[in-house]
Structure 1
Amino acid sequence: MKQTILNNMIILTVIAVLVSAVFTTTAVYTMFNNKLREELENSADFFMDLLDAGYNLDELLESDAVAEYKTRITLIAENGEVLFDNQADIREMENHLHREEVREALTKGSSQSARRSRTLGRETFYYAVRLDSGQILRFAVTTESIIFTLYRLLTLIGIMLVAVITAAFLLGEKMAEGIITPINNLDLDNPLQNDVYEEITPLLTRIHRQNLAIKDQIQRLQAQQEDFIALTNNMAEGLIVVDRAAKIITINTSALNLFGESSSLSSDYIGRNILMLTRDIHLNQAVEKALRGDKAELVFTLNDKSYQVFADPVWEGSTIRGALVLFIDISSKYAVEQMRKEFAGNVSHELKTPLTAISSYAELIKDGIAKPQDIPEFAGHIYTETQRMIALVEDLLKLSRLDEKVELGPTEAINLLDVAAQAAQALKPLTDKHQIEIKVSGQSVSVPGNEAILFEMVYNLIDNAVKYSRDGGQVEVKVLERDNTPLLLVADQGIGIPREHQERVFERFYRVDKSHSKKTGGTGLGLSIVKHAALYHNAVVSLESEVDKGTTVTVEFKG
């Protein structure tokens, strides 16, 4: 602004000087020319007065005074022939009949004219008067033209311009500084508190109103941003928003936790490429696809968890502004689906094995291939496999009912210690066979529930402990109450369960040692029934085991 003021001031000064110079020169030149014309007329009048006084024209023209006279005097005949000239050789002069001043003097008695020489840059003024004899007496004076006069004054004008521009610059800089300083010192945050030029008060008022509007808008945007952050940070799903360059604009807490960055702040990743967060090729391809305008979907596995990922483009009109990536934890659903597939396969396998055996033995008998003495043995095998199938179907039906959480009978207060004793007694033939002692001890603790289901749960726990104990071992069953919470503990001194299998032993058909399971029999559903029976009674099952030392299963009834 300061430079603009200086420039404008200098330009105005230069224009003013030039205009003044032109007008002054023109005025002086006009005044000077008028003076010359007046002098020409006076010279003509003087000659005419001399002639009227009786002086001879020829004598006057031949006098020394006329010869030295600065004004040019020319005598011209009526036919235009030059008869006399005090400054030129008349023999070299052309006929003047067609000269403007001569023609007009012949008709009007007197005349004035001016002619300019562009080549010499000079201007000549003429005054002609007709004598009584009919001859024309012409007076002329030559002076510089106004253009030439201005040209000659250029140096002076240039010096004046330099001086004036210098003065204007120094003065303008000081004036501009005086104008600009108060403006530069304006407090734009509080514009109405400035004591400055009255002329800019309306501007300051507008700035004040604009500041209020901007402040209000910023507060609303901050509130919206805080609401958005609070909303996204409380989402269970991970959310990442990137711009067109795949740089992170927003990332919520769930997304940070998902990538193991729970100790980091979301602001640590703002402005960084999503590659800094994960280099998973499939995820980055999904983001790139979304940034091209297409939707992408994939299952993303990280840290033993599965996520359904949706990558969608963010449009503004017809322009892609970025992409939104949503991570939905489907680990449970994925695990259930995998278990369902495994369960279907296991059921098929568990049913196929006894059916194949039954079919084989039956076919031998049907075709008469079996010897008569072998038929009882084959019939025994068929019976065993049939019983195995019946047990499997019964266990599947039990699990199905427990899964559906339908009412399986009346709920009443059940003495857990009595149920444990009954289950131990029911397994006595098995324990006697393997010389295993079942020791039931504890308190008479009652829990609300279904007696048949509780019996099935305790029976399966003890049965499993017996089957995986060594012959001559001991299984200990305890019922107690801790902090008003009923507990059932079943401990054996058997082969134990490796740590990597402990989380899965309650799955359907899951067997740690399949060869051992074949020897001991069973459907592979016992512990799964235990888990579902516990859930039915709002109880939690936990397991502690050490290889070659034994296993302890605890059922905690939450009430």
Structure 2
Amino acid sequence: MKELRSPASKLNLFLLLSINLFVIILFLLSAAALLCVLLIHWGWLPDNFYEQPSVPLLIFAYVISLMIGAAILLMINSVLIKPMRHMIAAMNELAKGNFATRIRLNKGSHSLEINEFAKSYNKAAEELGSVELLRKDFINNFSHEFKTPIISIKGFAELLREGGVSEEEREEYLSIMIAESDRLAQLANSILELSKLESKRVASEKEIFSVSEQIRRAILMAESKWSAKALNFDLELEETEYLGSARLLNQVWVNILDNAIKFSPDGSLLSVRVNGGPDAVTVTVRDRGPGMDEATLARIFDQFYQGDTSHASEGSGLGMTLVRKILTLHEAEIGIDSYPGEGTSVTVTLPRE
């Protein structure tokens, strides 16, 4: 693999270190020789100094110095230069989009900085690989979620154009087309909202509002849904205010309540609690639905994931993804307790500033 080289110099680091070390040794030898000449000139050393037995010892010391220098260069090449070449090659592969590349240092002694860089690089490459996997998964799911209603609308439109359908069938087909159009619009709005949340363009939308009043309005907005299932409510809404984005947090309550209503059996009870403390506001919504197993619970916040694999219930699989991103912007926490056959309890904790 071709290695990156600095355009300012064609010399690699090993050669530069070799030249520098050679220059240092040459300077030291020259300085020692000049000092001897000066000492002889000043009379501090005899004229026959070079015939003394100590001179071979000095020459031997110089040779040993050269050998030590060479050994140091070889060590630097093994400990520093080679790992740097591996890192450059790995960075080039990462730049090409090969997120599976890892820096695997050979056995031996490496500096702390080299080891830390290798660990940091491997971690970054792993994270980028995960992001790429999520991106591909998002595109596949997004395409599927958009394609399904479009095909449905197209099919019913062709049936209506061909004619020969009864008035009852015509109304049914139109209702389905309207519902699928609403589904597409909701999906597009959810994607747009996710994009805004990713760029954090909503972080400044803060105001003081009543959490309990917002919960009441969210329940009223869903009246048609819970009335159709004859659900009952057990409400304990403590009057409390919170500083945050009222628009975004309203989406949190709407999504959580919508899920609770959707999976609640007819005639069952929904419990909603709002507690305002000095440090945080806590909102809990509990249903008596079928609950979730561990596998479903582990993926509840994944984009486009729906616990109802049959897709019998409405939804795009983006609701809880939006909920988590909105709560993350508020530095809030969400906890979900759910067991098969025992219902689901969702608790949101909003910290006060």
- The SS at the match of 2:103 is strand
1:413–1:447 contact (8 Å) kept in structure 2 = yes
1:554 match: secondary structure: strand
Report how many aligned residue pairs link the two structures. 265
Report if aligned partners of 1:295, 1:313 keep a CA contact under 8 Å in 2. no
Query: Gaps spanning 5+ residues in structure 1: where?
Result: 1-202, 204-242, 250-286, 300-305, 315-319
User: Structure 1 residues 484, 511: CA separation in 2 closer, same or farther (over 3 Å shift)?
Assistant: same
Aligned partners of 1:474, 1:335: CA distance in 2, in Å? 40
- With over 3 angstroms needed to count, the CA separation of the structure-2 counterparts of 1:472 and 1:312, relative to structure 1, is same
Deviation at 1:387, TM superposition (A): 1.3
**Which of 313, 317, 323 in structure 2 is aligned with 1:530?**
323
Distance of 1:296 and 1:373 partners within structure 2:
65
Q: Note closer, same or farther for the CA distance 1:322–1:448 as it changes in structure 2 (3 Å cut).
A: closer
Structure with greater strand share of residues:
1
- For residue 329 of structure 1, the aligned residue among 86, 109, 123 is 123
How far is the alpha carbon of 1:430 from its aligned partner?
Answer: 0.8
One-letter code of the match for 2:138?
F
Partner of 1:468: 263
Residue 482 of structure 1 deviates from its aligned partner by 4.4
List per-residue Cα deviations over 1:72-95 (Å, max 9, x = no partner): xxxxxxxxxxxxxxxxxxxxxxxx
Query: Could you tell me how far 1:544 is from its partner in structure 2?
Result: 1.5
Task: Name 2:159's counterpart in structure 1.
Answer: 364
Identity level (%) = 25
Alignment of 1:233-312 (within 5 A): 309-311=102-104
Q: Distance in 1 between matches of 2:259 and 2:198?
A: 21
> Deviation per CA, 1:426-456, whole angstroms, max 9, x where unpaired?
1121111112123221422211112221111
2-side partners of 1:338 and 1:483: how far apart?
A: 42
- TM-superposed CA distance for 1:483, in Å, is 5.6
* Aligned twin of 2:51: none
Highest Rg: 1 or 2? Answer: 1
The amino acid that maps onto 1:309 is R
- Structure richer in helix, relative to its length: 2
In the alignment, the residues of structure 1 paired with residue 228 and residue 206 of structure 2 have an alpha-carbon distance, to the nearest angstrom, of 35
Q: Deviations over 1:496-522 (max 9, x none)?
A: 11112323201211112222xx33212
Are 2:279 and 1:484 aligned? yes
Residue 450 of structure 1 aligns with an amino acid whose one-letter code is: S
After superposition, what is the alpha-carbon deviation per residue over 1:330-365, rounded to whole angstroms, capped at 9, x for unaligned? Answer: 454333332222221111111101100111111122
Q: Is the 8 A contact 1:307 1:329 kept in 2?
A: no
- Tell me: CA distance 1:498–1:333, structure 2 relative to 1, closer, same or farther (3 Å): farther
Instruction: Report the counterpart of residue 349 of structure 1 in structure 2.
Output: 144
Determine the structure 2 residue equivalent to 1:444.
239
Matched with 1:25 is none
Q: CA deviation at 1:307?
A: 7.8
| Structure 2 residues without counterparts, runs of 5 or longer | 1-53, 55-76
Q: Does 1:402 align with 2:177?
A: no
* Partners of 2:203 and 2:329 within 8 A in 1: no
Alignment-mate amino acid for residue 300 of structure 2: V
Provide the TM-score with structure 1 as the length reference: 0.42
The partner residue of 1:429 within 194, 208, 224 is: 224
Task: Give a deviation string over 1:482-505, Cα, whole Å, max 9, x none.
Answer: 462211111112111111232320
Secondary structure (helix, strand or coil) at the match of 1:441 reads: strand
Counterpart-to-counterpart distance in 1, 2:227 and 2:90: 63
Cα distance in 1, alignment partners of residues 252 and 281 from structure 2: 15
Give me the whole-angstrom Cα distance separating, in 2, the residues matched to 1:321 and 1:478: 59
Q: Deviations over 1:114-163 (max 9, x none)?
A: xxxxxxxxxxxxxxxxxxxxxxxxxxxxxxxxxxxxxxxxxxxxxxxxxx
* Map of 1:551 onto structure 2: 344
Alignment of 1:509-528 (within 5 A): 509-515=304-310, 518-528=311-321
1:388 to 142, 158, 183: 183
Tell me the secondary structure at the aligned position of residue 102 of structure 2.
strand
Determine if contact 1:474/1:493 at 8 Å carries over to the other structure: yes
**Residues 1:453 and 2:255 aligned together:** no
The aligned residue for residue 275 of structure 1 is none
In 1, are the aligned partners of 2:90 and 2:101 still within 8 Å (CA)? Answer: no
Counterpart AA for 2:263: Y
SS of 1:502 mapped into structure 2: helix
Q: Structure 1: how far apart are the matches of 2:235 and 2:135?
A: 36
Instruction: Quote the Cα distance in structure 2 between the aligned partners of 1:438 and 1:522.
Output: 23
Taking the aligned partners of 1:438 and 1:425, their CA distance within structure 2 comes to 12
Secondary structure of 1:520's match? coil
Structure 1 residues 542 and 308: CA distance shift in structure 2, 3 A: farther
2-structure distance, mates of 1:372, 1:459: 36
Q: Do the aligned residues in 1 keep the contact of 2:237 with 2:274 (CA within 8 Å)? A: yes
The range that moved more, 519-528 or 456-465, is: 519-528
SS of equivalent to 1:496: coil
Equivalences for 1:22-421 in 2 at 5 Å? 309-311=102-104, 326-327=118-119, 328-330=122-124, 331-368=126-163, 370=165, 374-407=169-202, 410-421=205-216
- Relative contact order higher in (CA < 8 Å, ≥ 6 apart): 2
Distance 1:554 1:321, change over 3 A: closer
Change (3 A) 1:522 1:440: same
1: CA distance, partners of 2:221 / 2:183: 19
Aligned equivalents of 1:308, 1:376: Cα separation in 2: 57
3-state SS of the aligned residue for 1:509?
coil
Distance 2:268 2:136 in 1: 37
RMSD: 3.7
8 Å contact kept, 1:475–1:490:
yes
* Separation (CA, whole Å) in 2 of partners of 1:406 and 1:438: 36
Q: Is the 8 A contact 1:437 1:472 kept in 2?
A: yes
